[in-house]
């Protein structure tokens, strides 16, 4: 495959889908400069009739998650969710960040789930697989309208995002926080704009993420920071400063995850390191291998998030020593479940029966 760096994209490759018998590749000689550099984003309607995904991983402290979008335009080169796009018939490379599948009916489907007698009020994570505040959310507002459903039913919710757009919804988040129903985690991978430009090209810049933490904290919203993922040999030395800056902005919880590179993510990541940081290739890849028993990925439960060995020990000590100095917790306070109710305006509404006043169209944003 030819490596064709694209404007505003993390991946330069579009590797074959492991489930496809046939695969086509672009011929660079047949493309003009704009085609070589630019790849437009496509938005595809998702016709799912359920919205809550069930988690069975012992590494994750939740059972249900909600993803309004599949694929993510943020383009984070290391994203562990990239392989999930292959189940939709796409590539884990450029397709993952340019073919965004949109669940236009997410708010209605969420309300239907909460209306069922079998639903037991409990924490739901938004998003978990792709970022709920990726660029499409600015116009489609699916995440915002899902939060309105959480607020109406008084069901607890946790949000993870790399996008400062989360601060747009401070009014709903404040309402949820008043009932102890929400926690927001903002991921900060690096404080260096040039690193973010290369590694997470369409995410918010670090300063904007820190301002979002401050906005939420000032509104009384429980907020934390996740140094996720740590890229050994590239961003690991930034951990203490990220935690300090986040704590100064109002974060009261901190955690970290070491990069993991499942399936097709590993070759995409290796190509990216060789292209963007040629002088650090050995340093970065060898440190990851040291954490992963000589491999670039280790999928074992209990190991995949932290790694093992000397580097894992050093990261853990650095994190916990810094956390204690800053007074940061690692666990959020339990969120309330006793406020849950089915609001009268939702009781008689059938599926797709008018919960949305202005349903979005299929037109690209």
Q: Which residues partner with 125 through β-bridges?
A: 65, 158
**Other C-beta atoms within 10 Å of 16: how many?**
17
Q: pTM of this prediction?
A: 0.90
Confidence of residue 347 (pLDDT cuts 50, 70, 90): confident
Least confident of 35-39, 150-154, 337-341: 35-39
Residue recorded with tokens 């009268």: 344
Q: Are 358 and 280 in contact (CB under 8 A)?
A: no
Other C-beta atoms closer than 10 Å to the C-beta of 34 total 8
Determine the average pLDDT of the residues in 182-199. Answer: 98
Chain segment 270-319, per-residue pLDDT in tens: 999 999 999 999 999 999 999 999 999 999 988 999 999 999 999 999 99
- The predicted model gives 3-9 an average pLDDT of 80
Q: What average pLDDT score do residues 62-73 get? A: 95
Residue 356 has pLDDT above 50, yes or no: no
Buried b (16+ CB within 10 A) or exposed e, 191-228: beeebbebbbbbbbebeebbebbbbbbebebbbbbbbb
d(CA 51, CA 111): 10
DSSP 329: B
CA–CA separation, 312 vs 249, rounded Å?
A: 27
Task: Compute the radius of gyration of the chain from its Cα atoms.
Answer: 21
Q: In what order do the strands lie in the sheet with 99-102?
A: 42-45, 99-102, 69-70
pLDDT (tens digit per residue) in 127-142: 889 999 999 999 999 9
Of the two residues 248 and 363, the one the predictor is more confident about is 248
Strand-pairing partners, residue 223, are 184
**How far lies 9's CA from each of 40, 74, 97, in Å?**
10, 8, 7
Question: Residue 270: how many CB atoms within 10 A of its CB?
Answer: 16
Given a cut of 70, is residue 254 above it in pLDDT? yes
pLDDT, tens only, 85-100? 999 999 999 999 999 9
77/6 Cα distance (integer angstroms): 13
Enter the tokens of residue 342: 């089915």
Q: Which domains does the chain have, with CATH numbers?
A: 41-334 (3.80.30.30)
DSSP string, 257-326: EE----TTHHHHHHHHHHHH-GGGHHHHHHHHHHHTTTSS----TTTTTT--SHHHHHHHHHHHHHHHHH
Nearest to 241 by CA among 188, 186, 305, 166: 188
Q: Which of 27-36, 126-135, 192-201, 232-241 is the least confident region?
A: 27-36
d(CA 233, CA 220): 36
Within the chain, what is the greatest distance between any pair of CA atoms? Answer: 63
């Amino acid at each position: 495959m030819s490596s064709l760096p694209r404007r505003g994209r993390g991946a330069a490759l579009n590797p074959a889908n492991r489930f496809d018998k046939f695969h086509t590749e672009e011929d660079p000689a047949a493309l003009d400069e704009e085609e070589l550099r630019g790849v437009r984003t496509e938005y595809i309607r998702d016709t799912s009739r359920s919205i809550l995904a069930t988690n069975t991983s012992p590494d994750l402290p939740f059972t249900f998650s909600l993803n309004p979008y599949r694929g993510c335009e943020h383009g984070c080169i290391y994203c562990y969710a990239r392989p999930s796009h292959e189940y939709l018939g796409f590539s884990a490379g450029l397709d993952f960040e340019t073919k965004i599948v949109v669940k236009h009916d997410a708010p209605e489907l969420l309300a239907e789930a909460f209306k069922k007698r079998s639903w037991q009020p409990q924490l739901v994570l938004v998003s978990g697989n792709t970022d709920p505040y990726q660029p499409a959310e600015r116009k489609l507002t699916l995440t915002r309208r899902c939060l309105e459903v959480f607020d109406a039913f008084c069901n607890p919710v946790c949000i993870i995002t790399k996008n400062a757009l989360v601060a747009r919804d401070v009014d709903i988040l404040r309402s949820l926080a008043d009932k102890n129903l929400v926690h927001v985690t903002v991921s900060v991978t690096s404080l260096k704009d040039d690193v973010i430009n290369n590694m997470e090209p369409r995410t918010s810049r670090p300063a904007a993420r820190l301002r979002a933490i401050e906005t939420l904290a000032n509104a009384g919203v429980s907020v934390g920071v996740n140094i996720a993922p740590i890229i050994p040999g590239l961003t690991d030395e930034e951990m203490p400063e990220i935690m300090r800056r986040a704590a100064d902005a109002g974060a009261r919880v901190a955690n970290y995850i070491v990069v993991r590179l499942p399936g097709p993510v590993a070759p995409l990541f290796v190509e990216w390191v060789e292209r963007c940081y040629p002088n650090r290739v050995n340093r970065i890849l060898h440190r990851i291998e040291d954490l992963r028993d000589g491999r670039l990925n280790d999928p074992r439960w209990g190991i995949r998030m932290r790694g093992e060995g000397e580097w894992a020990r050093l990261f853990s000590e650095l994190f916990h020593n810094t956390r204690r100095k800053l007074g940061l917790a690692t666990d959020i306070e339990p969120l309330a479940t006793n406020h849950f109710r089915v609001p009268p305006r939702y009781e008689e509404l059938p599926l797709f029966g008018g919960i949305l006043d202005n349903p979005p169209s299929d037109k690209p944003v």
